[in-house]
């Protein structure tokens, strides 16, 4: 994993030296603030490793990596408004620290910065193709967010709809990170497509695991309180599966609980007990492993390299994460 750490550090350094102007501070201070939040930088590291995997120097994908990390942070700023989240990774969210208008605007500005980075990709790159992959990916993220919002109002969300939602909201940008890394390396369409699928599997695995960790993780390490998704009335993988499996009476109680807007700690425990009763917690764990395994299988079709080893280790690391 030593490559991964050094790549994450490289991204960190590049993010610190983006050269955003000082003023207007209303536009740029929140952008600097969210970028200083020390995320895991998983997406840009995926871009660099995918570039190496496809036979080029990983650093060729640095601008692709910065573009996806900036877009990821753009989505964090705007999603936190929509979710009315007060904190993220232990820090106040942008709309909380500043205000609504500043958060909307600085998010928009970060979208612009992300797209600008992408224009700096190596000269050999077909920019039209790179931009279209990037933009369609962002649109896919927006579609996922829209579905997520629509699900809040619905009582009958099915598993396939849930997967479509996280396929956009979470997986699309993972795919884009890998695909743009490949494109920076000058990879052929077949490899780009494989990485698209690898990213989808990895993204689904990551999000379903995130839903699981909300219930089973140590709140200290996870940085969120246990059952936070339940409190927020979110229709997670576990909730959707449980709603499909439970009795009518339990379903009515669960839906009333989700819509109450304020779930008590006792009721959170009651929900988690229902997850266990129907074996949903265990099933979710096995689905997570299955999607991670799909990603590992796709990776096997690439030529051996240190980048392939590192990608494999990164998948293992994510699979074993507890936060």
Residues near its own copies, by CB under 8 A: 24-27, 78, 81-82, 100-102, 104-105, 107-109, 111-113, 115-116, 119, 127-128, 131-132, 135-136, 138-139, 142-143, 145-147, 149-150
How many angstroms separate the CA atoms of 310 and 89, rounded? 26
The nearer residue to its own copies, 149 or 306, going by C-beta atoms, is 149
Minimum separation from the CB atom of position 271 to its own copies (A): 24
Distances (CA, A) of 83 to 29, 115, 281: 22, 25, 25
Q: At what angle do helices 172-184 and 127-152 cross, to 10 degrees?
A: 170
Minimum separation from the CB atom of position 104 to its own copies (A): 5
Give yes or no for a contact between 52 and 311, defined as CB atoms under 8 angstroms apart.
Answer: no
Give yes or no for a contact between 39 and 89, defined as CB atoms under 8 angstroms apart.
Answer: yes
How many angstroms separate the CA atoms of 18 and 150, rounded? 36
Minimum separation from the CB atom of position 29 to its own copies (A): 10
Give yes or no for a contact between 263 and 230, defined as CB atoms under 8 angstroms apart.
Answer: yes
The nearer residue to its own copies, 170 or 226, going by C-beta atoms, is 170
Minimum separation from the CB atom of position 32 to its own copies (A): 14
The nearer residue to its own copies, 104 or 318, going by C-beta atoms, is 104
Contacts (Cβ under 8 Å, ≥6 apart) of 42: 174, 314, 318
The nearer residue to its own copies, 153 or 303, going by C-beta atoms, is 153
Contacts (Cβ under 8 Å, ≥6 apart) of 302: 53, 54, 191, 194, 308
- Cis bond leading into 24, ω under 30°? yes
Minimum separation from the CB atom of position 267 to its own copies (A): 25
Q: What residue ranges in the chain does DSSP mark as E strands?
A: 87-88, 91-92
How many angstroms separate the CA atoms of 183 and 36, rounded? 28
The nearer residue to its own copies, 115 or 255, going by C-beta atoms, is 115
The nearer residue to its own copies, 116 or 216, going by C-beta atoms, is 116
How many angstroms separate the CA atoms of 198 and 1, rounded? 19
The nearer residue to its own copies, 125 or 212, going by C-beta atoms, is 125
Q: What residues form DSSP beta bridges with 88?
A: 91
Minimum separation from the CB atom of position 126 to its own copies (A): 9
How many angstroms separate the CA atoms of 302 and 69, rounded? 25
The nearer residue to its own copies, 119 or 316, going by C-beta atoms, is 119
Minimum separation from the CB atom of position 156 to its own copies (A): 16
Minimum separation from the CB atom of position 278 to its own copies (A): 29
Buried b (16+ CB within 10 A) or exposed e, 135-151: eebbebbebbbebbeeb
């Amino acid at each position: 994993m030593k490559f991964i750490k050094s790549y994450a550090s490289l991204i960190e350094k590049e993010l610190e030296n983006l050269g955003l102007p000082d003023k207007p501070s209303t536009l740029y201070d929140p952008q600097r603030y969210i970028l200083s939040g020390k995320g895991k930088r998983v997406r840009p590291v995926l871009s660099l490793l995918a570039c190496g995997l496809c036979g080029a120097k990983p650093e060729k994908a640095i601008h692709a990596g910065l573009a996806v990390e900036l877009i990821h942070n753009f989505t964090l700023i705007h999603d936190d408004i929509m979710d009315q989240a007060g904190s993220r990774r232990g820090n106040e969210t942008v709309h909380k620290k500043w205000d609504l208008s500043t958060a909307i605007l600085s998010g928009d500005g970060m979208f612009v910065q992300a797209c600008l980075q992408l224009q700096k990709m190596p000269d050999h790159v077909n920019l039209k193709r790179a931009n279209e992959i990037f933009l369609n990916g962002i649109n896919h993220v927006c579609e996922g967010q829209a579905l997520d919002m629509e699900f809040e109002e619905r009582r009958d969300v099915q598993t396939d709809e849930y997967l479509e939602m996280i396929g956009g909201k979470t997986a699309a940008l993972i795919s884009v990170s890998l695909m743009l890394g490949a494109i920076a390396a000058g990879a052929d369409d077949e490899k780009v497509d494989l990485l698209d699928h690898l990213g989808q599997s990895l993204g689904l695995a990551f999000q379903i695991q995130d839903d699981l960790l909300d219930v089973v993780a140590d709140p200290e390490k996870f940085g969120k309180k246990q059952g936070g998704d339940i409190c927020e009335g979110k229709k997670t993988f576990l909730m959707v599966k449980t709603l499909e499996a439970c009795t009518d009476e339990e379903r009515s109680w669960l839906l009333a609980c989700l819509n109450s807007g304020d779930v008590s700690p006792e009721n959170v425990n009651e929900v988690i007990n229902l997850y266990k009763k129907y074996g949903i917690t265990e099933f979710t764990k096995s689905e997570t492993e299955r999607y991670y395994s799909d990603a590992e299988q796709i990776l096997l079709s690439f030529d051996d390299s240190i980048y392939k080893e590192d990608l494999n280790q990164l998948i293992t690391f994510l699979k074993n994460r507890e936060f």
